[in-house]
Structure 1
Amino acid sequence: MASNLACIGLAVWRRSDFREMVAAARAEAETIAKDGEVGVHLWTDASGARLIITTEGDLVRVVVPTFYAAPGAIMSEPQAVDGGLVLAELVNEHDEVITEIACQLEELSLLGAAEPPVEGPVSVVVLGTSARVTGRADAGTPAPVFEPTGAYAASTDATAHLTGVVLAVEERAVERTGQGFTAARVQTDGFQVTLCVPAGEPHLTAGDVVDVDGYVVASMPSLR
Protein backbone atom coordinates (compact mmCIF):
# COMPACT_ATOMS: atom_id res chain seq x y z
CA MET A 1 0.00 0.00 0.00
CA ALA A 2 1.42 3.38 -1.02
CA SER A 3 1.68 6.31 1.37
CA ASN A 4 -0.13 9.58 0.67
CA LEU A 5 3.23 11.29 0.07
CA ALA A 6 4.39 8.58 -2.35
CA CYS A 7 1.29 9.21 -4.47
CA ILE A 8 2.70 12.64 -5.39
CA GLY A 9 6.39 11.78 -5.62
CA LEU A 10 7.35 12.92 -2.11
CA ALA A 11 7.98 9.66 -0.28
CA VAL A 12 10.47 9.91 2.57
CA TRP A 13 11.73 7.21 4.90
CA ARG A 14 13.26 9.18 7.79
CA ARG A 15 11.66 11.78 10.04
CA SER A 16 14.67 14.02 9.52
CA ASP A 17 14.17 13.85 5.73
CA PHE A 18 10.50 14.73 6.18
CA ARG A 19 11.34 17.72 8.38
CA GLU A 20 13.91 18.96 5.86
CA MET A 21 11.44 18.60 2.98
CA VAL A 22 8.70 20.47 4.84
CA ALA A 23 11.09 23.23 5.90
CA ALA A 24 12.21 23.75 2.30
CA ALA A 25 8.61 23.75 1.08
CA ARG A 26 7.56 26.19 3.81
CA ALA A 27 10.24 28.65 2.67
CA GLU A 28 8.78 28.63 -0.86
CA ALA A 29 5.09 28.42 0.05
CA GLU A 30 2.30 30.95 -0.44
CA THR A 31 0.52 31.99 2.76
CA ILE A 32 -3.22 31.67 2.11
CA ALA A 33 -4.51 32.39 5.63
CA LYS A 34 -3.23 33.93 8.84
CA ASP A 35 -4.97 34.17 12.22
CA GLY A 36 -2.69 35.29 15.02
CA GLU A 37 0.07 32.73 15.42
CA VAL A 38 -1.65 30.20 13.13
CA GLY A 39 -0.85 30.27 9.41
CA VAL A 40 -1.81 28.10 6.45
CA HIS A 41 0.73 27.87 3.63
CA LEU A 42 0.45 26.23 0.21
CA TRP A 43 3.50 24.87 -1.61
CA THR A 44 3.11 23.78 -5.22
CA ASP A 45 5.85 21.98 -7.16
CA ALA A 46 6.21 22.36 -10.94
CA SER A 47 4.88 18.79 -11.20
CA GLY A 48 1.60 19.81 -9.51
CA ALA A 49 2.45 18.08 -6.24
CA ARG A 50 1.28 20.17 -3.30
CA LEU A 51 1.71 20.43 0.46
CA ILE A 52 -0.74 22.29 2.70
CA ILE A 53 1.30 23.31 5.75
CA THR A 54 -0.37 24.59 8.92
CA THR A 55 1.92 26.34 11.37
CA GLU A 56 1.61 27.84 14.83
CA GLY A 57 4.41 30.30 15.36
CA ASP A 58 7.56 28.47 14.28
CA LEU A 59 6.01 25.01 14.76
CA VAL A 60 4.58 22.91 11.94
CA ARG A 61 1.30 21.43 13.18
CA VAL A 62 -0.18 19.67 10.13
CA VAL A 63 1.08 18.74 6.65
CA VAL A 64 -1.43 17.53 4.03
CA PRO A 65 -0.26 16.28 0.61
CA THR A 66 -2.39 16.94 -2.47
CA PHE A 67 -2.17 17.88 -6.16
CA TYR A 68 -3.06 20.90 -8.27
CA ALA A 69 -6.05 19.77 -10.35
CA ALA A 70 -8.85 21.26 -12.41
CA PRO A 71 -12.38 21.24 -10.96
CA GLY A 72 -14.47 18.20 -11.79
CA ALA A 73 -17.43 18.50 -9.42
CA ILE A 74 -19.68 20.96 -7.60
CA MET A 75 -19.48 21.07 -3.81
CA SER A 76 -22.42 22.28 -1.73
CA GLU A 77 -22.54 23.44 1.90
CA PRO A 78 -19.19 22.15 3.21
CA GLN A 79 -19.15 21.91 7.00
CA ALA A 80 -16.03 21.72 9.16
CA VAL A 81 -15.97 18.79 11.60
CA ASP A 82 -13.58 17.57 14.28
CA GLY A 83 -10.13 16.58 13.10
CA GLY A 84 -9.76 19.41 10.59
CA LEU A 85 -11.95 17.69 8.00
CA VAL A 86 -14.96 18.77 5.96
CA LEU A 87 -18.24 17.00 5.27
CA ALA A 88 -20.11 18.18 2.17
CA GLU A 89 -22.43 17.18 -0.64
CA LEU A 90 -21.43 16.91 -4.28
CA VAL A 91 -24.26 17.99 -6.58
CA ASN A 92 -24.94 18.06 -10.31
CA GLU A 93 -25.86 21.06 -12.47
CA HIS A 94 -29.51 20.65 -11.39
CA ASP A 95 -28.51 20.88 -7.71
CA GLU A 96 -29.34 17.20 -7.20
CA VAL A 97 -27.15 15.40 -4.66
CA ILE A 98 -24.76 12.88 -6.22
CA THR A 99 -22.98 11.81 -3.05
CA GLU A 100 -21.68 12.99 0.29
CA ILE A 101 -17.96 13.33 0.86
CA ALA A 102 -15.51 13.56 3.74
CA CYS A 103 -12.31 15.31 2.74
CA GLN A 104 -9.49 17.61 3.57
CA LEU A 105 -10.13 21.07 2.08
CA GLU A 106 -7.27 23.35 1.01
CA GLU A 107 -9.32 26.41 1.94
CA LEU A 108 -10.62 25.11 5.29
CA SER A 109 -9.22 28.14 7.13
CA LEU A 110 -11.28 30.44 4.86
CA LEU A 111 -14.54 28.53 5.20
CA GLY A 112 -15.71 30.24 8.39
CA ALA A 113 -15.62 33.71 6.79
CA ALA A 114 -17.52 32.65 3.65
CA GLU A 115 -21.05 33.97 3.20
CA PRO A 116 -23.59 31.10 3.12
CA PRO A 117 -24.77 29.21 1.24
CA VAL A 118 -21.36 27.99 0.11
CA GLU A 119 -21.42 26.21 -3.24
CA GLY A 120 -19.10 26.12 -6.22
CA PRO A 121 -16.77 24.16 -8.51
CA VAL A 122 -14.31 21.96 -6.67
CA SER A 123 -11.35 19.81 -7.59
CA VAL A 124 -11.39 16.39 -5.93
CA VAL A 125 -8.00 14.70 -5.62
CA VAL A 126 -7.74 11.07 -4.54
CA LEU A 127 -4.35 9.84 -3.36
CA GLY A 128 -4.63 6.21 -4.38
CA THR A 129 -3.02 4.30 -1.54
CA SER A 130 -4.48 1.11 -3.06
CA ALA A 131 -5.36 1.02 -6.77
CA ARG A 132 -5.78 -1.67 -9.40
CA VAL A 133 -6.94 -1.98 -12.99
CA THR A 134 -9.93 -4.31 -13.27
CA GLY A 135 -10.73 -4.13 -16.99
CA ARG A 136 -11.34 -1.92 -20.01
CA ALA A 137 -14.27 0.40 -20.57
CA ASP A 138 -14.81 -0.89 -24.11
CA ALA A 139 -15.44 -4.38 -22.73
CA GLY A 140 -18.49 -3.27 -20.75
CA THR A 141 -18.30 -2.54 -17.05
CA PRO A 142 -20.66 -2.02 -14.10
CA ALA A 143 -21.75 1.52 -13.23
CA PRO A 144 -19.01 3.52 -11.46
CA VAL A 145 -19.20 3.92 -7.69
CA PHE A 146 -18.00 6.55 -5.20
CA GLU A 147 -18.31 5.64 -1.52
CA PRO A 148 -17.09 8.04 1.21
CA THR A 149 -15.86 5.28 3.51
CA GLY A 150 -14.79 7.70 6.23
CA ALA A 151 -17.89 9.91 6.27
CA TYR A 152 -19.95 7.83 8.66
CA ALA A 153 -17.25 5.92 10.49
CA ALA A 154 -16.87 6.12 14.26
CA SER A 155 -13.85 8.33 13.61
CA THR A 156 -14.49 10.49 10.54
CA ASP A 157 -11.68 10.30 8.01
CA ALA A 158 -11.03 11.70 4.54
CA THR A 159 -11.16 8.34 2.78
CA ALA A 160 -13.18 6.90 -0.07
CA HIS A 161 -13.58 3.85 -2.26
CA LEU A 162 -14.27 4.44 -5.93
CA THR A 163 -14.47 2.73 -9.26
CA GLY A 164 -14.35 4.57 -12.56
CA VAL A 165 -12.94 4.94 -16.06
CA VAL A 166 -9.60 6.61 -16.75
CA LEU A 167 -10.09 9.50 -19.19
CA ALA A 168 -6.53 10.84 -19.43
CA VAL A 169 -3.14 10.11 -17.93
CA GLU A 170 -0.09 12.31 -17.26
CA GLU A 171 3.26 11.12 -15.94
CA ARG A 172 4.84 13.66 -13.59
CA ALA A 173 8.07 13.83 -11.56
CA VAL A 174 9.26 15.93 -8.62
CA GLU A 175 12.72 17.36 -9.33
CA ARG A 176 13.68 17.62 -5.66
CA THR A 177 13.12 13.91 -4.98
CA GLY A 178 13.52 12.41 -8.46
CA GLN A 179 10.35 10.41 -7.82
CA GLY A 180 7.72 9.93 -10.50
CA PHE A 181 3.97 9.67 -10.10
CA THR A 182 0.90 9.35 -12.27
CA ALA A 183 -1.95 11.88 -12.34
CA ALA A 184 -5.04 10.41 -14.02
CA ARG A 185 -8.42 12.00 -14.67
CA VAL A 186 -11.10 9.49 -13.70
CA GLN A 187 -14.84 9.55 -14.37
CA THR A 188 -16.59 8.11 -11.36
CA ASP A 189 -20.25 8.24 -10.29
CA GLY A 190 -21.52 11.58 -11.66
CA PHE A 191 -18.30 13.61 -11.45
CA GLN A 192 -14.57 13.52 -12.15
CA VAL A 193 -11.64 13.10 -9.77
CA THR A 194 -7.90 13.36 -10.26
CA LEU A 195 -6.25 10.15 -9.10
CA CYS A 196 -2.58 10.26 -8.07
CA VAL A 197 -0.53 7.09 -7.65
CA PRO A 198 3.21 6.30 -7.60
CA ALA A 199 4.53 5.77 -11.13
CA GLY A 200 3.59 2.31 -12.38
CA GLU A 201 1.52 1.40 -9.30
CA PRO A 202 -0.44 0.50 -11.36
CA HIS A 203 0.39 1.44 -14.93
CA LEU A 204 -2.62 3.36 -16.24
CA THR A 205 -3.89 4.15 -19.73
CA ALA A 206 -7.01 5.93 -20.96
CA GLY A 207 -9.95 3.53 -21.01
CA ASP A 208 -8.81 1.49 -18.03
CA VAL A 209 -11.37 0.69 -15.35
CA VAL A 210 -9.89 1.24 -11.89
CA ASP A 211 -10.80 0.20 -8.36
CA VAL A 212 -9.31 2.57 -5.78
CA ASP A 213 -9.13 3.16 -2.05
CA GLY A 214 -7.58 6.48 -1.16
CA TYR A 215 -7.31 9.73 0.72
CA VAL A 216 -9.46 12.64 -0.47
CA VAL A 217 -8.37 16.29 -0.66
CA ALA A 218 -10.51 18.99 -2.29
CA SER A 219 -10.00 22.59 -3.34
CA MET A 220 -12.74 25.19 -3.83
CA PRO A 221 -11.04 28.21 -5.51
CA SER A 222 -14.08 30.47 -5.00
CA LEU A 223 -13.33 30.57 -1.24
CA ARG A 224 -10.11 32.52 -1.85
Structure 2
Amino acid sequence: MVAAARSEAETIAKDGEVGVHVWTDVSGARLIITTEGDLVRAVTPTFYAAPGAVISEPQAVDGGLVLAELVNDQDEVITEIACQLEELALLGSAPPPVRGPVSVVVLGNSTQVTGRADGAAPGLVFEPTGAYSRSTDAVAHLTGVVLAVERRAVGRTGQAFTAARVQTDGFHVTLCVPAGKPELTTGDVVEVDGYVVVSIPALRA
Protein backbone atom coordinates (compact mmCIF):
# COMPACT_ATOMS: atom_id res chain seq x y z
CA MET A 1 0.00 0.00 0.00
CA VAL A 2 2.75 2.46 0.96
CA ALA A 3 4.81 1.61 -2.11
CA ALA A 4 1.82 2.22 -4.38
CA ALA A 5 0.95 5.46 -2.57
CA ARG A 6 4.54 6.67 -2.82
CA SER A 7 4.47 6.37 -6.59
CA GLU A 8 1.31 8.51 -6.76
CA ALA A 9 2.19 11.03 -4.06
CA GLU A 10 2.89 14.75 -4.40
CA THR A 11 6.37 15.76 -3.22
CA ILE A 12 6.07 18.85 -1.02
CA ALA A 13 9.65 19.06 0.27
CA LYS A 14 13.06 17.78 -0.78
CA ASP A 15 16.38 18.22 1.03
CA GLY A 16 19.16 16.11 -0.44
CA GLU A 17 18.16 12.48 -0.08
CA VAL A 18 15.24 13.25 2.27
CA GLY A 19 11.81 13.89 0.77
CA VAL A 20 8.30 14.45 2.12
CA HIS A 21 5.42 13.22 -0.01
CA VAL A 22 1.64 13.52 0.40
CA TRP A 23 -0.72 10.91 -0.99
CA THR A 24 -4.47 11.63 -0.90
CA ASP A 25 -7.06 8.96 -1.68
CA VAL A 26 -10.38 9.78 -3.34
CA SER A 27 -11.98 9.23 0.07
CA GLY A 28 -9.87 11.97 1.64
CA ALA A 29 -7.67 9.49 3.52
CA ARG A 30 -4.11 10.71 3.36
CA LEU A 31 -0.58 9.42 3.99
CA ILE A 32 2.42 11.64 4.73
CA ILE A 33 5.44 9.65 3.60
CA THR A 34 9.01 10.60 4.55
CA THR A 35 11.72 8.99 2.47
CA GLU A 36 15.51 8.89 2.47
CA GLY A 37 16.68 7.84 -0.95
CA ASP A 38 14.64 4.77 -1.81
CA LEU A 39 13.84 3.97 1.86
CA VAL A 40 10.59 4.90 3.59
CA ARG A 41 11.50 6.35 6.99
CA ALA A 42 8.07 7.34 8.33
CA VAL A 43 4.41 7.16 7.38
CA THR A 44 1.77 9.32 9.08
CA PRO A 45 -1.93 8.67 8.35
CA THR A 46 -4.32 11.62 8.28
CA PHE A 47 -7.27 13.04 6.34
CA TYR A 48 -7.86 15.91 3.92
CA ALA A 49 -10.06 18.29 5.92
CA ALA A 50 -11.24 21.87 5.64
CA PRO A 51 -9.67 24.37 8.05
CA GLY A 52 -11.53 24.78 11.31
CA ALA A 53 -9.15 26.74 13.52
CA VAL A 54 -6.41 29.39 13.48
CA ILE A 55 -2.90 28.39 14.53
CA SER A 56 -0.29 30.76 15.94
CA GLU A 57 3.50 30.40 15.96
CA PRO A 58 3.95 26.62 15.70
CA GLN A 59 7.32 25.43 16.97
CA ALA A 60 9.02 22.15 16.07
CA VAL A 61 10.48 20.18 18.97
CA ASP A 62 12.25 16.83 19.32
CA GLY A 63 10.71 13.76 17.75
CA GLY A 64 8.97 15.61 14.92
CA LEU A 65 6.35 17.05 17.27
CA VAL A 66 4.96 20.56 16.81
CA LEU A 67 3.70 22.70 19.69
CA ALA A 68 1.48 25.69 18.99
CA GLU A 69 -1.47 27.75 20.17
CA LEU A 70 -4.92 27.92 18.61
CA VAL A 71 -6.39 31.42 18.74
CA ASN A 72 -9.72 33.15 18.08
CA ASP A 73 -10.49 36.14 15.85
CA GLN A 74 -9.27 38.51 18.56
CA ASP A 75 -5.93 36.65 18.75
CA GLU A 76 -6.82 35.31 22.20
CA VAL A 77 -5.46 31.85 23.02
CA ILE A 78 -8.11 29.12 23.01
CA THR A 79 -5.83 26.18 23.77
CA GLU A 80 -2.36 24.78 23.31
CA ILE A 81 -1.92 21.91 20.90
CA ALA A 82 0.67 19.18 20.38
CA CYS A 83 0.48 17.63 16.93
CA GLN A 84 2.09 16.18 13.88
CA LEU A 85 2.30 18.73 11.06
CA GLU A 86 1.91 17.66 7.43
CA GLU A 87 4.17 20.52 6.30
CA LEU A 88 6.80 20.12 9.04
CA ALA A 89 9.60 20.11 6.45
CA LEU A 90 8.46 23.56 5.26
CA LEU A 91 8.06 25.15 8.68
CA GLY A 92 11.71 26.12 9.19
CA SER A 93 11.89 28.19 6.00
CA ALA A 94 8.57 30.01 6.53
CA PRO A 95 8.89 33.73 7.37
CA PRO A 96 7.78 34.42 10.95
CA PRO A 97 5.35 34.80 12.48
CA VAL A 98 3.48 31.75 11.19
CA ARG A 99 -0.24 32.27 11.77
CA GLY A 100 -3.28 31.26 9.78
CA PRO A 101 -6.08 28.78 9.09
CA VAL A 102 -5.35 25.19 9.98
CA SER A 103 -7.16 21.89 9.64
CA VAL A 104 -7.12 19.77 12.78
CA VAL A 105 -7.61 16.03 12.27
CA VAL A 106 -8.08 13.70 15.22
CA LEU A 107 -7.64 9.98 14.60
CA GLY A 108 -9.83 8.52 17.33
CA ASN A 109 -8.16 5.85 19.45
CA SER A 110 -11.03 5.85 21.94
CA THR A 111 -14.37 7.43 21.03
CA GLN A 112 -17.58 7.30 23.07
CA VAL A 113 -20.98 8.87 22.53
CA THR A 114 -21.97 10.32 25.90
CA GLY A 115 -25.27 12.00 25.04
CA ARG A 116 -27.15 14.30 22.73
CA ALA A 117 -26.76 18.05 22.38
CA ASP A 118 -29.81 20.16 23.11
CA GLY A 119 -28.76 23.51 21.67
CA ALA A 120 -25.26 24.59 22.68
CA ALA A 121 -23.49 21.91 24.71
CA PRO A 122 -21.64 23.35 27.73
CA GLY A 123 -18.27 22.23 29.01
CA LEU A 124 -16.56 21.40 25.71
CA VAL A 125 -12.85 20.82 26.18
CA PHE A 126 -9.73 20.18 24.14
CA GLU A 127 -6.50 19.42 25.94
CA PRO A 128 -3.18 17.89 24.86
CA THR A 129 -2.31 14.83 26.91
CA GLY A 130 1.16 13.92 25.63
CA ALA A 131 3.77 16.67 25.39
CA TYR A 132 2.36 18.54 28.35
CA SER A 133 2.40 15.54 30.68
CA ARG A 134 6.08 14.48 30.50
CA SER A 135 5.69 12.23 27.48
CA THR A 136 6.10 13.62 23.98
CA ASP A 137 3.31 12.62 21.67
CA ALA A 138 0.71 14.22 19.44
CA VAL A 139 -2.30 13.11 21.46
CA ALA A 140 -5.25 14.96 22.95
CA HIS A 141 -8.48 14.48 24.87
CA LEU A 142 -11.59 16.32 23.74
CA THR A 143 -15.31 16.53 24.17
CA GLY A 144 -17.40 17.90 21.35
CA VAL A 145 -20.66 17.97 19.41
CA VAL A 146 -20.94 16.23 16.05
CA LEU A 147 -21.98 18.76 13.39
CA ALA A 148 -21.82 16.54 10.29
CA VAL A 149 -21.03 12.92 9.46
CA GLU A 150 -19.69 11.36 6.27
CA ARG A 151 -19.12 7.65 5.77
CA ARG A 152 -16.33 6.92 3.34
CA ALA A 153 -14.21 4.05 2.04
CA VAL A 154 -10.57 4.06 0.96
CA GLY A 155 -10.58 3.56 -2.81
CA ARG A 156 -7.51 1.36 -2.91
CA THR A 157 -8.39 -0.98 -0.02
CA GLY A 158 -12.16 -0.63 0.50
CA GLN A 159 -11.62 0.05 4.21
CA ALA A 160 -14.63 1.98 5.53
CA PHE A 161 -14.36 4.83 8.01
CA THR A 162 -16.34 7.75 9.39
CA ALA A 163 -15.23 11.37 9.08
CA ALA A 164 -17.16 13.65 11.43
CA ARG A 165 -16.97 17.41 11.80
CA VAL A 166 -16.92 18.14 15.53
CA GLN A 167 -17.33 21.41 17.43
CA THR A 168 -15.04 21.43 20.44
CA ASP A 169 -13.84 24.27 22.66
CA GLY A 170 -13.84 27.26 20.30
CA PHE A 171 -12.96 25.54 17.02
CA HIS A 172 -13.74 22.60 14.74
CA VAL A 173 -11.86 19.33 14.30
CA THR A 174 -12.40 16.47 11.87
CA LEU A 175 -12.66 13.19 13.74
CA CYS A 176 -11.87 9.96 11.88
CA VAL A 177 -12.83 6.56 13.28
CA PRO A 178 -13.31 3.09 11.78
CA ALA A 179 -16.83 2.64 10.42
CA GLY A 180 -19.30 1.88 13.19
CA LYS A 181 -16.80 2.31 16.04
CA PRO A 182 -18.98 3.97 17.20
CA GLU A 183 -21.88 4.90 14.96
CA LEU A 184 -22.06 8.70 14.91
CA THR A 185 -24.96 10.97 14.06
CA THR A 186 -25.37 14.74 13.94
CA GLY A 187 -25.98 16.10 17.44
CA ASP A 188 -24.09 13.39 19.31
CA VAL A 189 -21.88 14.52 22.19
CA VAL A 190 -18.59 12.62 21.99
CA GLU A 191 -15.63 12.07 24.26
CA VAL A 192 -12.44 11.29 22.36
CA ASP A 193 -8.84 10.37 22.97
CA GLY A 194 -6.90 10.52 19.73
CA TYR A 195 -3.85 11.31 17.66
CA VAL A 196 -3.65 14.83 16.24
CA VAL A 197 -2.39 15.76 12.76
CA VAL A 198 -2.71 19.30 11.42
CA SER A 199 -2.18 20.97 8.06
CA ILE A 200 -1.32 24.62 7.42
CA PRO A 201 -2.16 25.11 3.73
CA ALA A 202 -0.37 28.47 3.56
CA LEU A 203 2.99 26.78 4.12
CA ARG A 204 2.67 25.15 0.67
CA ALA A 205 1.95 28.43 -1.11
TM-score bracket for this pair, using the shorter chain length:
over 0.9
SS at match of 1:83: helix
SS at match of 1:23: helix
C-alpha separation in 2, matches of 1:200 and 1:208: 14
How many angstroms does 1:143 deviate by? 1.4
Matched, 1:109 2:117: no
For the structure 1 residues 140 and 74, does the alpha-carbon distance in structure 2 shift closer, same or farther, using more than 3 Å as the test?
Answer: closer
Alignment match, 1:159: 139
Unaligned stretches of 5+ in structure 1? Answer: 1-20
- Cα deviation, 1:108-145, whole Å, max 9, x if unaligned, reads 00000000011000000000011010000018744101
Pick from 24, 29, 36 the counterpart of residue 16 of structure 2: 36
- Cα deviation, 1:23-77, whole Å, max 9, x if unaligned, reads 0100100000000000000000000000000000011001000000000000000
C-alpha separation in 2, matches of 1:165 and 1:140: 9
SS at match of 2:170: coil
TM superposition outliers: structure 1 runs of 4+ over 6 Å: none
**Identity level (%):** 83
Alignment match, 2:44: 64
Tell me the matched-pair count: 204
How many angstroms does 1:175 deviate by? 2.1
Alignment match, 1:86: 66
Alignment match, 1:221: 201
> Does structure 1 conserve the Cα–Cα contact (< 8 Å) formed by 2:115 and 2:188?
yes
How many angstroms does 1:172 deviate by? 0.4
How many angstroms does 1:179 deviate by? 1.1
Unaligned stretches of 5+ in structure 2? Answer: none
1:4-83 mapped onto 2 (5 Å cutoff): 21-83=1-63
Matched, 1:100 2:99: no
Alignment match, 2:124: 144
C-alpha separation in 2, matches of 1:85 and 1:57: 23
SS at match of 2:40: strand
The normalised TM-score by structure 2 is: 0.97
The normalised TM-score by structure 1 is: 0.89
